[in-house]
Structure 1
């Protein structure tokens, strides 16, 4: 059939460019060391920042929820799919984030789609950092608002856009808290100051800052001490929290509006009760101790320093996301494959996810990596890096 020929042509092109990837099927759960084709591999690409996927309190909470509620919620939230465990999670999230309210969605991706498409109308303008996540880009595409892009973290350009968009009913500045491909942190204090000067709304996606930045992992707003000055905080339950889902934290009126207008919320079955219970347990673990977050940052800072000392280009990284910039897409993927041969899984990321000449393997350091794990990784990276001429 003709359409299959078109698909095959696309796939052949990706193969010629070295960008084609088969999905790897892992034979063990998300952990520091995982099994692939019967072989133990050091995992350096997982978003399981704090290692909570195997935390005994989370596993116990999931098991108890299944016994009490069963395996599914049976409906969307607005019919019979809001159980008391969902409400309890939202109350706890709001307390954790320091906001009036929180609303949980089925994924972080759908959270951005639902929130942006609900709060933006044809008389509004959304102003977005050029390196924002794909879910933000797709959420913006679902709106009829005017769209403006500012160069990555360029506050002069952001101010110029804010000045020229004063005729719009509402101006919404959207940024990631931590940028997922480079591991750098948004200049949130400067963004907030400009937004206050030009009467704009600040919308921060903390997918990679949830459980990572701020006291006990409360996120970028807490990290910079900006409580009450960031209007909309987006969080994920799928990365450091160890389960799956997303949420909006903000005003009670915002929550009520989203309940009535956010299509992913309205038309998707709610989280299984075991997932909601798991997320609730994770938030309580974070509230109870900062040890995991402290260990995460100690590991990340030490590892990044040693990579730089070896001569690797780690770009703008300042978080546990640490890219090694390679450049050419095909060479990047060969580097990733060679690391796998050496016992490390470090995902190659190439165009169109990043610029054509900015291919990289993205390393993610977690709280669960031991000093021995990271020494093993550094040794393999040094060996393979020399083979590829990335370091001397």
Structure 2
């Protein structure tokens, strides 16, 4: 079949560039130590930043949720799938992030991808008088949301406030939407949100913030990047993910009540999908209690200590550890083959770190994406540091010998 042959040729082309992705089957709960295809590994590749995915209180709440609400919701939210658990979670989320927003309401989604698609497309509403201004390093879901909005999209350079100011200043659109990640998932750095919000208020634009990697980890109370920067504005549309630091699943959009009602009425990813199982929403109420309480503060403090330990211990030659103060700690290597060789060498040592290649990151910037968790110990991170330093030295030596022909 010519159609299959074409697909096979495309896969071969990916393989030639060392861009084939492979899955590994995990046999144990998400955590610092996992069993993968019969082998125990120390994992530094999940987004379970606070170590809540297998927290006893959260898993007990999930079990309780199934007893209360069953396994599934049975329908979309606007038919019969909106349960009491969903309603309680949305009320709690609005309260949790409400200090940063005006007349706040929250809306729960099955995934962060769906929440981003919903927020952008509903705000744009297919209006030809809309322009979207998208950060160059935005997550794929934000990029796809802008594409699906079927309107003009302008991309501004990473963290370039002056460039965005110029784009907004020359725009004649009535409806302007600035879209950005808060914590960039492959670099670990923070967007200049205070400056971005000032621009949006100056030019009359929405600021849509995807806080997938900040919710739960940033801010004194863990309510995310807006709390971290002390921001408050009716121009803000906030998206938080609940399958990372919160440890369960789904996501939410929080904004002015009029914005949320617009999503309920217009957002196709919300209207035309079955609601997430109510038991997940019930478990998330416990996750939020942990994040906002003393235990959450202790976990964030411990995570900050691990980040400092990581930076203090690295001794790299040729590779570059990015200056992130978040749980995401990339080590840029450059070449695809060297990056995958490094990931494989760590795996052989019993340490699981993801190797990230284009198109997820720009060409020639392939990297190890180390993610730290409050579930890790200082001894775990010390073992990781030693292994990364060793692999760095080994690969550099191998490359030097290859160049010398020895």
Q: TM-score normalised to the size of structure 2?
A: 0.93
Query: Secondary structure of the residue that 2:144 maps to in structure 1?
Result: helix
Q: Which is worse superposed, 314-323 or 97-106?
A: 314-323
Number of residue pairs matched?
Answer: 391
Indicate which of 272, 281, 305 corresponds to 1:276.
281
Indicate which of 117, 124, 131 corresponds to 2:121.
117
Cα distance in 2 for residues equivalent to 1:348 and 1:50: 22
State the Cα deviation string for residues 62-104 of structure 1 (Å, max 9, x = none). Answer: 1111111110111100011011110000000001111411000
Indicate which of 192, 195, 202 corresponds to 2:197.
192
Displacement after TM superposition at 1:182 (Å)? 0.3
1:96 aligns with 2:96: yes
Q: Which is worse superposed, 69-78 or 301-310?
A: 301-310
Displacement after TM superposition at 1:181 (Å)? 0.4
Runs of 4+ aligned residues of structure 1 deviating over 6 Å after TM superposition are: none
Cα distance in 2 for residues equivalent to 1:70 and 1:137: 35
- The alpha-carbon distance between structure 1 residues 292 and 229, as it changes in their structure 2 partners (threshold 3 A), is farther
- The answer to whether the 8 Å contact 1:45/1:346 transfers is yes
- The answer to whether the 8 Å contact 1:19/1:350 transfers is yes
Aligned to 2:325: 318
Aligned to 2:269: 264
State the Cα deviation string for residues 229-275 of structure 1 (Å, max 9, x = none). Answer: 55100110111111110110111111111111111111111110111
Aligned to 2:299: 292
Displacement after TM superposition at 1:306 (Å)? 2.0
Cα distance in 2 for residues equivalent to 1:249 and 1:296: 26
Aligned to 2:238: 233
Displacement after TM superposition at 1:317 (Å)? 2.1
Query: Secondary structure of the residue that 1:322 maps to in structure 2?
Result: strand
Q: Which is worse superposed, 325-334 or 300-309?
A: 300-309
Displacement after TM superposition at 1:312 (Å)? 4.6
- The answer to whether the 8 Å contact 1:122/1:143 transfers is no
Cα distance in 1 for residues equivalent to 2:184 and 2:160: 14
- The alpha-carbon distance between structure 1 residues 274 and 131, as it changes in their structure 2 partners (threshold 3 A), is same
Indicate which of 372, 376, 379 corresponds to 1:372.
379
| Correspondences of 1:325-344 after superposition (within 5 Å) | 325-344=332-351
Cα distance in 1 for residues equivalent to 2:395 and 2:153: 41
Aligned to 2:137: 131
- The alpha-carbon distance between structure 1 residues 296 and 310, as it changes in their structure 2 partners (threshold 3 A), is farther
- The alpha-carbon distance between structure 1 residues 309 and 23, as it changes in their structure 2 partners (threshold 3 A), is closer
| Correspondences of 1:125-274 after superposition (within 5 Å) | 125-165=131-171, 167-228=172-233, 230-274=235-279
- The answer to whether the 8 Å contact 2:134/2:180 transfers is yes
Aligned to 2:353: 346
- The answer to whether the 8 Å contact 1:19/1:330 transfers is no
Cα distance in 1 for residues equivalent to 2:228 and 2:107: 22
- The answer to whether the 8 Å contact 1:111/1:248 transfers is yes
1:307 aligns with 2:314: yes
- The answer to whether the 8 Å contact 2:205/2:235 transfers is no
Displacement after TM superposition at 1:298 (Å)? 1.5
- The alpha-carbon distance between structure 1 residues 91 and 310, as it changes in their structure 2 partners (threshold 3 A), is farther
1:80 aligns with 2:84: no
Q: Which is worse superposed, 361-370 or 35-44?
A: 35-44
Query: Secondary structure of the residue that 2:77 maps to in structure 1?
Result: coil
Q: Which is worse superposed, 30-39 or 125-134?
A: 30-39
1:67 aligns with 2:96: no
Cα distance in 2 for residues equivalent to 1:339 and 1:146: 44
- The answer to whether the 8 Å contact 2:81/2:274 transfers is yes
Q: Which is worse superposed, 227-236 or 3-12?
A: 227-236
Cα distance in 2 for residues equivalent to 1:116 and 1:308: 42
Cα distance in 2 for residues equivalent to 1:87 and 1:73: 13
State the Cα deviation string for residues 191-246 of structure 1 (Å, max 9, x = none). Answer: 11111222211110000111111122111111000023551001101111111101
Cα distance in 2 for residues equivalent to 1:95 and 1:294: 23
Cα distance in 2 for residues equivalent to 1:312 and 1:374: 19
- The answer to whether the 8 Å contact 2:96/2:223 transfers is yes
Query: Secondary structure of the residue that 2:48 maps to in structure 1?
Result: coil
Cα distance in 2 for residues equivalent to 1:372 and 1:310: 23
